[in-house]
């Protein structure tokens, strides 16, 4: 334990902070700090009191928690081993490829923004101190250089390894899988032929004038944990994407489940086609009403009250008709909320048509 000690030299009293310890079994002291004379101590104290107080703060809670998880799951190490399995991993500005990508991941989790805006955000957090880098060094070019060092063919293996470890750590039981696709537009110029994925197609945000990319994602329906993903050309249809992405991915998804024979995939009508349903054993999807008008008309007159596991009561009809060449289990559920919306839309359309008709008279 440290203590304050007074001593004299040439008849002048000085002070110092010392710490006691044993050396060769005998008591001894080591000097931690020389404080000087009483006047020196008083002068320094007055200078500190008179000096303006400068206080700065940084965000640390979410960043520290996520960084701890990244270290626990060895995310940087896994990426580095995949990027350079036999050689020395690339380093930029004091960070390895894996460390740079982990820093980017933490930023996207805490405050999603562009790579260019990363430095401004990082300065407001304790991340530079945790990972030992200067925020100003991590420019957009830094991240491009580091990402370019990871072979695209290794991404699926990295993803599978990390997801598998998370499932084991959280003891998740993967049974129901939710699959969906979306697209997002880019500002990549039409003359840029180096980018192969961006293409023009039907954009869900209405930006059909821009090149876009598609994202297919499979998540665990209970925990919403992402299990696998794929980026694809923006001009692909949902049905084509389903066949090219999900079916070849079956082996990877089955490896993540303790009971792979019970895996059930859930997807919407956009990917539902006879070709895509062939070979699927357990699945839940929607059928297009326009394609099954006769069956829906038959079901409408046979709806009965059914109590669900959560206690709610719905009107439903269950049957096993022939669909897409096979006998399949089909459930028709009546939705009062959807009916209200459709009736409201019908009245709005009638009112608009009536106004247009009156204006023509």
- Per-residue model confidence (pLDDT) at position 347: 95
- Name the domain boundary from 150, 176, 206: 150
Inside any domain, residue 25: yes
Partner residues linked to 18 by β-bridges: 3, 31
Give, for all 361 residues of the chain, the pLDDT tens digit.
678 888 888 888 888 888 887 777 778 888 888 888 888 888 887 776 666 667 677 888 899 999 999 999 999 999 999 988 888 899 999 999 999 999 999 999 999 999 999 999 999 999 999 999 999 999 999 999 999 999 888 998 899 999 999 999 999 988 888 988 888 898 988 888 888 888 888 888 888 889 999 888 999 988 999 999 888 888 888 778 887 787 678 888 888 888 888 888 888 887 777 777 777 778 888 887 777 788 888 888 899 999 888 888 999 999 888 776 778 888 888 888 988 999 999 999 999 999 999 888 7
Looking at the structure, tell me whether residues 169 and 281 fall in a common domain. yes
Looking at the structure, tell me whether residues 177 and 250 fall in a common domain. yes
Looking at the structure, tell me whether residues 87 and 46 fall in a common domain. no
- Per-residue model confidence (pLDDT) at position 49: 62
- Name the domain boundary from 270, 286, 302: 286
Inside any domain, residue 276: yes
Looking at the structure, tell me whether residues 102 and 176 fall in a common domain. no
Looking at the structure, tell me whether residues 178 and 271 fall in a common domain. yes
Question: CA 223 to CA 241: how far, in whole Å?
Answer: 24
CA dihedral 111, 117, 121, 126 (to 10 degrees): 100
H helices, E strands: number in the chain: 13, 15
Inside any domain, residue 94: yes
**Secondary structure (H, E, C), 323-337:** ECCEECCEEEEECHH
Question: CA 265 to CA 212: how far, in whole Å?
Answer: 26
- Name the domain boundary from 286, 301, 332: 286
Looking at the structure, tell me whether residues 248 and 214 fall in a common domain. yes
Looking at the structure, tell me whether residues 183 and 142 fall in a common domain. no
Inside any domain, residue 175: yes
Angle at 168 between CA 167 and CA 171, to 5 degrees: 80
- Per-residue model confidence (pLDDT) at position 254: 86
Looking at the structure, tell me whether residues 208 and 265 fall in a common domain. yes
- Per-residue model confidence (pLDDT) at position 1: 60
The parent domain of residue 96 ranges over 62-150
Number of domains making up the chain: 3
Looking at the structure, tell me whether residues 35 and 85 fall in a common domain. no
Inside any domain, residue 241: yes
- Per-residue model confidence (pLDDT) at position 19: 85
DSSP label at residue 304: E
Inside any domain, residue 361: no
Looking at the structure, tell me whether residues 249 and 171 fall in a common domain. yes
**pTM to 2 decimal places:** 0.69
Looking at the structure, tell me whether residues 126 and 19 fall in a common domain. no
Looking at the structure, tell me whether residues 46 and 98 fall in a common domain. no
Any idea what the CATH number is for the domain that residue 236 is in?
Answer: 3.30.420
Q: Please provide the DSSP assignment of 119-136 as one string.
A: HHHHTTBSHHHHHT--GG
């Amino acid at each position: 334990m440290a203590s304050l000690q007074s001593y004299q030299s040439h008849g002048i009293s000085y002070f110092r902070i010392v710490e006691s310890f044993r050396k060769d079994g005998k008591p001894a002291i080591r000097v931690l700090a020389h404080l000087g004379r009483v006047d020196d101590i008083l002068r320094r104290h007055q200078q500190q009191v008179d000096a303006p107080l400068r206080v700065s703060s940084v965000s640390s809670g979410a960043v520290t928690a996520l960084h701890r998880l990244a270290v626990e799951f060895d995310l940087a190490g896994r990426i580095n081993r995949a990027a350079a399995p036999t050689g020395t991993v690339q380093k930029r500005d004091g960070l390895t490829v894996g460390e740079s990508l982990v820093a980017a991941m933490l930023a996207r989790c805490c405050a999603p923004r562009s790579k260019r805006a990363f430095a401004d955000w990082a300065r407001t957090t304790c991340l530079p101190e945790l990972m030992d880098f200067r925020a100003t060094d991590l420019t957009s070019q830094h991240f491009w250089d580091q990402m370019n060092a990871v072979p695209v063919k290794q991404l699926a293996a990295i993803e599978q390894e990390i997801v598998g470890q998370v499932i084991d750590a959280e003891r998740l039981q993967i049974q129901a899988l939710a699959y969906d696709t979306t697209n997002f537009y880019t500002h990549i110029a039409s003359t840029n032929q180096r980018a192969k994925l961006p293409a023009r197609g039907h954009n869900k945000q209405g930006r059909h004038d821009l090149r876009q990319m598609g994202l297919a994602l499979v998540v665990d329906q209970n925990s919403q944990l992402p299990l696998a993903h794929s980026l694809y050309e923006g001009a692909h249809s949902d049905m084509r994407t389903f066949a090219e992405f999900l079916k070849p991915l079956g082996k990877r998804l089955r490896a993540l489940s303790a009971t792979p024979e019970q895996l059930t995939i859930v997807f919407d009508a956009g990917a539902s086609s006879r070709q895509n349903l062939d070979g699927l054993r357990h699945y839940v999807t929607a059928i297009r009403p326009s394609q099954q008008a006769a069956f829906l008309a038959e079901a409408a007159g046979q709806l009965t009250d059914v109590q669900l596991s959560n206690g709610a009561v719905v009107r439903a009809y269950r049957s096993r008709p022939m669909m897409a060449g096979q006998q399949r289990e089909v459930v028709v559920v009546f939705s009062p909320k959807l009916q209200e919306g459709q009736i409201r839309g019908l009245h709005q359309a009638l009112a608009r048509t009536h106004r247009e008709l009156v204006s023509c008279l």
